[in-house]
Amino acid sequence: MAINEKSVVASHEDAGPGYRFLVLEAPRLAADLTPGQFVHVRVPGLESTALRRPFSVFDADAGRVTLLYKVVGRGTAALSKVLVGDTVEVMGPLGHGFPSSSKGVPLLVGGGYGVAPLHFLAKRLKDPHAILFVGGRTKDDLLALDRFAALGVDVRIATNDGSAGEKGFVTGPLDAVLDGLRARGETFELFTCGPDGLLKAVADRAVAAKMPGWISMDRHMVCGVGACYACIQKTVRGNSRCCVEGPVFRAEDLVW
Ligand SMILES: Cc1cc2nc3c(=O)[nH]c(=O)nc-3n(C[C@H](O)[C@H](O)[C@H](O)COP(=O)(O)OP(=O)(O)OC[C@H]3O[C@@H](n4cnc5c(N)ncnc54)[C@H](O)[C@@H]3O)c2cc1C
Ligand code: FES
């Protein structure tokens, strides 16, 4: 069941141009969150009637919850001003996340801040065969690579401008690995979070290969708890609420 925890800011650091890591002392949430679930944050500095903002969980460990966020508008700009020692109200755990184990080689595919839930997932899977594919327009869009390296995850990179890794889309290195796995008859499982184009590309590959694919959808949210129907995603079972039935959906259930 979701709780609202008054957490204290333990650290707040740059995570790349326009990105921040926010570490919160939130022992109850840290104990309950699973990868792919999200939290709804009341942003200090916004008026009390302002909506909360949803964020994936980058890490939840030792009583602390870490978020990786991008400053894009009023709420995240206000969030970027919170200081160590400030109190932030955080509601969670919310939504359905990724499965807690993988039935084949775990292939994690992320773009931008979409790597956030994949880091928490990689940490929990503890699978030495896991590979992270990360893409961006330029090297400045590649986030938290050192944190994935510290987990021992094999990281494959692609950038549109070729400033880091392979030049082009991240589906380039992904397809090369998929071809190899298929040739050896190995099973795999796809997990993804990022821009819609990337999510669809990964979902299409999971469906075509008849392998499990777990797609974390990023939809505008208002209430975050299933009451307002602002976050609808079409699925084969009809309209689903991203905040309750998602944000993680099975690839074959999504209607694009
Ligand atoms: C389940 C979930 C998990 C998320 N996880 C993260 C995360 O780990 N890190 C992170 O940085 N952000 C994450 N987001 C997106 C984040 O919630 C928004 O960026 C944030 O709410 C924007 O608030 P704002 O007031 O700064 O921007 P606003 O002023 O509300 O909007 C600024 C711009 O961002 C766009 N925007 C707002 N919300 C979203 C959204 N959900 N998706 C795409 N564009 C949006 C608006 O259309 C507008 O163009 C997540 C969203 C969801 C639904
Ligand atoms: S945000 Fe209100 S139902 Fe999902």
Question: Ligand 1 atom 32: the closest Cα is on which residue?
Answer: 73
CATH of domain 105-216: 3.40.50.80
On whether the CB atoms of residues 222 and 230 are closer than 8 A, the answer is: yes
Percent of the chain clearing pLDDT 90 (strictly above)? 96
Ligand nearest to the backbone CA of 195: 1
pLDDT for 49 equals 79
Q: Regarding beta strands 213-216 and 154-159, do their DSSP bridges make them parallel or antiparallel, or are they unpaired? A: unpaired
Test site for ligand 2: of 96, 217, 225, most ligand atoms within 8 A of the Cβ? 225
Domain boundaries along the sequence of the chain: 3-94, 105-216
Instruction: Ligand 2, residue 223: give the atom nearest the CA.
Output: 2
Give the model's confidence band at 204: pLDDT under 50 very low, under 70 low, under 90 confident, else very high: very high
Domain 3-94, architecture per CATH? Beta Barrel (2.40)
Predicted confidence (pLDDT) per residue in 80-127, tens digit: 999 999 999 999 999 999 998 888 999 999 999 999 999 999 999 999
On whether the CB atoms of residues 144 and 68 are closer than 8 A, the answer is: yes
Instruction: Ligand 2, residue 231: give the atom nearest the CA.
Output: 4
**In this model, does residue 45 exceed pLDDT 90?**
no
The CB-side HSE value for 220 (13 A sphere, CA atoms) comes to 2
pTM attached to this predicted model: 0.96
**In this model, does residue 50 exceed pLDDT 90?**
no
